Amino acid sequence: MRFTAIICTWIWDREAPIADDLVHHGERGRRRAMSAPLAAPTTARDRLPFLDGLRGIAICGILFVNIWIMGSVAGIERDPRIGPSWTGLDQAVWWFQMVFVEGTMRGLLSMLFGAGFVLMASRGMGAATYYRRTVLLILFGLVHSYLLLWPGDILLIYGLAGLLLWFAKEMEPRQMIGAGVAGLVLLTGLGLGASAGLMNMRAFAEGAAARGADETDQRVSDWSAYLEKLAPSDDRVAESRQARAGGVAENVHYKVGIANELNSLSASRIWLFEPIAMMLLGGALMQLGILSGQGQPSAYRWMLAAGYGLGIPLNIAEWWQQWHSGFAAEIPMLLWSDQPGRVLVTLGHLGALGWLYTAGRADGLMRLFAPAGRLALTTYIGQTMICQWLLFPGFALDQYDRFGIAALWGLAILILGLQIAFSHIWLKHFRYGPLEWLWRWGTYGRPPPLTRLR
């Protein structure tokens, strides 16, 4: 699971008074919108219900992936059998998560980030304001990773990607799609190259071992060391259990160490290529009306059929190889289909939701999730506070490594029910979520009105 550490991606608000220009007036409307003066922070009248609903679904869906990592021992993503439960129900939930959820909620949020970028550029947001907003996102990510103890944070890497995204503000939809697809093809090519190299490394090591070479042979020892690094060893499992069962100091030391490791990886070309590519696709789909819920039904049906028709078999094939191998440590690193499968199923999700929405069959679903989408930053960090500071650590409720994946999904449903209810109640009294309000204050240099007028 090469990209498990990258759990989610981000967009919380989009300033959208010109959305109708973007969707209904084609290129002329787009250019007119791009030259519009910068407006104040988004008001309720500016919201796009489909976009809010999508964001809410994605930010809630992220928890089903994150809670498995938060509540389980180190290495669970490589071998789910090491958890406290591996029943038939756990296995069914694992399969569903791997095929339909893993990486796809991150993909949706990535595209929504690109959609928000297009809308901000459309309203004439200047470079200084945009970069102030993006630097604040990076700061949120650092706090989330190191103070709130979630090493799987995506805010930091998406803030870094956002710094580069500004240079795409003049790109047309066709150019954005071309650049996004090129980035994803490059990632897939890198995966193929890495897989080929590892297959050769394994073949040389196995050949040397078959000829009677022992661990002193460099090829055998290199391969053995590589497998040892990948596998969820007993020492690593015990270390994670001991740290999470301890006090605040033990948890901080353990989680900060993981954050340092993951964030060093996040500075690499791979972790930046993925979000930027998906942001560019999202920006193009926003300009074409797809992400605003105003695309043609036939376009959504095509996305549904192609995304699911190609992506689901790819994902099943990938995870079947891992399942069939007994979760051999090297198998995830030998596969190349992670990126195309994830992206295709993400597009399938978008197509399914868009088709239902244009048919008038998803209005209730979007109304349910839209408030969570408007409070996405608060919801996302709230999930961390509940899981990392209340539910699992030894200094609180001490429920770490006590549940299999099916039970953790049940806990996620309970948490999300509470968060969705909170977001509905909050927005009856306030215009923005608490963290969204803070972010806007820092972005625009003045506190926006928080309470609703009575």
Residue 25 pLDDT > 70, yes or no? no
pLDDT of residue 418: 99
Residue 402 pLDDT > 50, yes or no? yes
- The residues, any chain, with a CB within 8 Å of residue 33's CB and separated by 6 or more, are 18, 21, 22, 122, 123
Mean pLDDT over 213-240 rounds to: 75
Domain spans of the chain? 19-444
pTM above 0.75, yes or no: yes
Between 13-22, 73-82, 380-389, the lowest mean confidence (pLDDT) is in: 13-22
pLDDT of residue 44: 57
Q: CA end-to-end span of the chain, whole Å?
A: 51
Enter the tokens of residue 61: 């869906």
Mean pLDDT over 186-197 rounds to: 82
pLDDT of residue 228: 73
Between 45-59, 107-121, 205-219, 395-409, the lowest mean confidence (pLDDT) is in: 205-219
CA-CA distance, 222 to 225, in Å (whole number)?
5
Buried/exposed code over 93-123 (b: 16+ C-beta within 10 A; e: otherwise):
bbeebbbbbbbbbbbbbbbbbbbbbbbbbbb
pLDDT of residue 40: 52
Enter the tokens of residue 27: 């290129």
pLDDT grade for 265, boundaries at 50, 70 and 90: low
Checking 212-221 for CB contacts under 8 A at 24+ apart, the result is none
